[in-house]
Structure 1
């Protein structure tokens, strides 16, 4: 005769604790993001904890170390930029407009909070963010060229490198002489990616 195992009714306390922990972790990550935005990427865990109104030991309880916190902040930023890029892509009426809208959304993000951007992209924890951009930027290329998925992702990877490099150069030189505004740079990047920078610049010189 098999033994009968008595089950304890689930009173929901475990589920409520999991939900509370997830909410608390998200709130701490958002507080950390604001602290980084205000004080820079080299802010210490003590300073982040003070900004969040808690202790460093509590931060470690939820994130283990600063890398874990960085990953949590990255998740928050990724969700926000995912929403912005997807909205930019889906509200466009042409593939080129989708590309332009996504470039604009990216430049707006890095201009709004350079500290947070560098905090989440300066090492391997930023790779999911870059993968997301590759997927989204590959979409208008695939739509226009009817390209195989591998070709679209290869183009998307190259486009992300180009947009990221150009955007970070622009961010570093903002306020200098002859540095384009964000809308101007958005138009230039879009044209360069769509038509190719060399052929575009050559045409501009020969017609000027």
Structure 2
């Protein structure tokens, strides 16, 4: 039996990667990323109900190009959802890591979430509203639901850490509170997003309110149960870094 037949350097098992194939894979990945960015820009401008034709027009290409890279609108929606949640998770993790105290970490994460949804509500609704309900046969809700589910699980872990530090308990003990906190922040933020003209609350005011509600409620209970005393007083807003 020859070396080639054994799968050696000349055989299939030892075949060297085709440089052209590698370059094509890199090009395809870059093009896909570019199309997702273009789609987000189109949705930001046109709204969550933008059609594939409209998205392609804003991107300066054809609908067939989007179908080549994403198969259908459901595939594009999933790609946008993954990009949105990955970016938001990264910002939340950075905010929590850079905060000097558990209270400021909680406040920073609330602020980041509100900043993100305020900057591009159309993109946010494009992902979340379809993931919740779907508007038609091509909406592909299951993909965004899975992307959002994984994102929410990871955010629960992030939020549980400052709560556990404040209460002096293991992070797993704060996980139930964190899950409720994430749902509360999301629900409040979405209400505010839909009522910005009538709510009478700025982003910073809502950030302060949400943080206070969360901090002086269940976190205080956790801390009291662990130490037998009241929770440490929160940082004052004037000591924290204000972001635009």
CA distance in 2, matches of 1:36, 1:130: 23
Q: Residues 50, 145 of structure 1: CA spacing in aligned structure 2 closer, same or farther, 3 A cutoff?
A: same
1:163 aligns with 2:170: no
Distance 1:9 1:90, change over 3 A: closer
The residue that corresponds to 1:60 in the other structure is: 67
Aligned partners of 1:36 and 1:116 also within 8 Å: yes
2:206 aligned residue (172, 181, 185): 185
Per the alignment, residue 135 of structure 1 pairs with 157
What's the CA shift for 1:4? 2.7
> 1:107: how far off?
0.5
TM-score, normalised relative to structure 1: 0.87
For structure 1, which runs of at least 5 residues remain unmatched after alignment? Answer: 200-208
Matched, 1:196 2:203: no
Q: Is the 8 A contact 2:85 2:148 kept in 1?
A: no
Normalised TM-score (structure 2): 0.75
Alignment of 1:85 with 2:107, yes or no, is: no
Question: Contact conserved, 1:170 with 1:179, CA < 8 A, in 2?
Answer: no
User: Residue 172 of structure 2 corresponds to which residue in structure 1?
Assistant: 150
Q: How many residue pairs get matched?
A: 197
Cα distance in structure 2, aligned partners of 1:72 and 1:143 = 35
Query: Is contact 1:134–1:157 with CA below 8 Å preserved after alignment?
Result: yes
Question: Quick check: 1:30 aligned with 2:52?
Answer: no
CA RMSD of aligned residues (A): 2.0
3-state SS of paired residue (2:100): coil
1:29 deviates by: 0.4
Structure 1 counterpart of 2:25, from 10, 18, 21: 18
1:114 to 121, 126, 141: 121
- Which ranges in structure 2 are unaligned for 5 or more consecutive residues? 132-144, 221-244
